[in-house]
A and B are shown apart, each in its own frame.
Chain A
Amino acid sequence: MVAKKSIKFIAILVLLMTTVSTFANEGGEDNQHHEKGNKVDTPEEIKEYIAHHLKDSHDFHLFSNNETGTHVSFPLPVIVWSSDGLRMFMSSEFHHDDNGHVIVEKDGVKLTKIHSKIYELEAGAEAVAFDEHHHAENAHKVLDLSITKSVFGMLIAGILMFLGFGALAKGYKKGPIPTGVGRVLEPLVLYVRDEIARPNIGEKKYMKFMPFLLTVFFFIWILNLLGLTPLGFNVTGQIAVTACLAIFTMIIYLTNGSKDFWMHTLWMPGVPYILRPILAVIELIGFVIIKPFSLLVRLFANMTAGHFVVMSLIALVILMKEAFGPVASTGVSLILALFITVIEILVAFLQAFIFTMLSSLFIGMAVEEHDHH
């Protein structure tokens, strides 16, 4: 009941905000990045469009009509820590500008957005000056704590997890067999527990790490699946997100390392003394840098590549129209995109599984207690 109500509430909120944004944008047409009547139809433009999609953005863009210059999107709050303290405003104030043309002044701090990054202009500057590499010369980045599209996606994933698993937890109060959505979720929880955590961490200690592993598994999986919807989230394709997840894993296995683990890492028994410091360095680099790095890059690269491939295949409609005609190009693009999307659904699960699996493997290595020889 509560779940239904909150979903309704979110839906109404989204609708309201979308409408407002459409109206608000009608006034700001002059500031559009794309010129009027210019469709995204050349390879360069497509490349830019894809690259733009892969990045995080400050408003929730649904679709655009470049011929009339209207963008249908709803704004998200921008929260930045500037040189003069915290500043908050809605992203609609940038009027979809992404090239530093629109400058928003908030209590003496001039802010602008260039390639999805918020910059603060130096004191006295009125407009952004660019050098030949298109880097801003008189502006610097600020700490951007905005509710960006990725943060928004994470919040949605969080809410979904709360609704789903809250319902499952509540379902156990009524009886030992869950009903409704819990029936689907329970096997997944069991899967993470019995196939990922137990065999890798060990029967004695796995319980302690279950909250982290379950949260991470479902968080990554839901976000991966959200990324496949036309809403166009690319949360797990943000390197900051995957880095954060990997660092969590690293902190957990380093803080829970057993005496044996540190012994084997820092002063490997059974090896000549002269080699021990060298081994310690190698082991430390492995545990502190290489393992987390492999985790973060694997997830990031897989998800980014997936999005890139799907979008490129959709772009075939435009690129092959000249050579094959509209019907053939649409058909080819549709079949290929469908094929890759189905694979991506598998990859979405697989990457969540691999991340959780490797996390539990590393944790298992750290908490393992060896038999003393």
Chain B
Amino acid sequence: MDTLLNDFSPGLFIMQTIILIILIVLLGKFAWKPILGSLATREDGIKDAIEAAEKAKLELQNLQADNAKLLNEARVERDAMLKEAREMKDKMILDAKDEAQVQANNMIEAAKHAIESEKKTAMVEIKNHVAELSLEIAEKVVRGELSNKDKQLQLVDTLLGESTLN
């Protein structure tokens, strides 16, 4: 302790105080202030840039989410439309089939009727014709019978041959 106190130099203490004050003041003015100022400015800049980037990222994410949503909606809509179209097609086909069936049935029915009526008229005609023929034959037979017996007989034979041809 004695040596320590003996070694303590007041002069050195004073010089050190002066030098330290000068250093703090001058370095503070010419070095620390501009250095710390620039560092703070730079850090603020970096911070702002990071924040801006973060914000942009978030916006992009929102945008992407929106896009996905839109896409999804579009897909659902498309599916719905396709489904509807398919249903409509099926229905149309079915309707067409039914209608065709009905029409075909109708046509068949009409044809049947036509055939039936034609058949009926044909039958009536045939009947009439047969009646006429029978009358004619009867007339001729009666006429021949009346003139010549042989001739009458021959006539009947001829008429009969003719009628078979008919």
Q: Could you list which residues of chain A lie within 8 angstroms of chain B, going by C-beta atoms?
A: 55-56, 80, 117, 143-148, 150-151, 154-155, 158, 161-162, 165-166, 168-169, 172, 176, 186, 189-190, 193, 207, 210-212, 214-216, 219, 238-241, 243-245, 248
Please measure, in the bound complex, the distance between the C-alpha atom of A65 and the C-alpha atom of B43, giving whole angstroms: 57
- Asked if A244 and B13 make an inter-chain contact with CB atoms under 8 angstroms apart, the answer reads yes
Q: Decide if B23 is an interface residue (CB 8 Å cutoff).
A: yes
Assuming A169-B38, A210-B32, what are 14 further A-B pairs, CB within 8 angstroms? A56-B9, A144-B10, A148-B12, A158-B22, A169-B34, A176-B38, A189-B36, A214-B32, A215-B24, A238-B7, A238-B12, A239-B4, A239-B8, A248-B20
Closest-CB distance, A156 to chain B (whole angstroms): 11
Closest-CB distance, A360 to chain B (whole angstroms): 15
Chain A interface helix/strand/loop/mixed = helix
Contacts of A117 on B, CB cut-off 8 Å?
Answer: 9
A-B contact count (CB 8 A): 114
Interface size range on B against A = 20 to 34
Chain B 121-163 interface mask (CB, 8 Å, partner A; 1/0): 0000000000000000000000000000000000000000000
Closest-CB distance, A340 to chain B (whole angstroms): 23
Within B91-116, the residues touching A (CB, 8 Å) are: none
Q: Decide if B61 is an interface residue (CB 8 Å cutoff).
A: no
Q: Decide if B15 is an interface residue (CB 8 Å cutoff).
A: yes
Closest-CB distance, B148 to chain A (whole angstroms): 153
Of the candidates B10, B20, B34, B36, the one whose C-beta lies within 8 Å of that of A193 is B36
**Nearest A-chain residue to B33, judged by Cβ:** A211
Contacts of A243 on B, CB cut-off 8 Å?
Answer: 8, 13
Closest-CB distance, A276 to chain B (whole angstroms): 33
**Nearest B-chain residue to A115, judged by Cβ:** B6
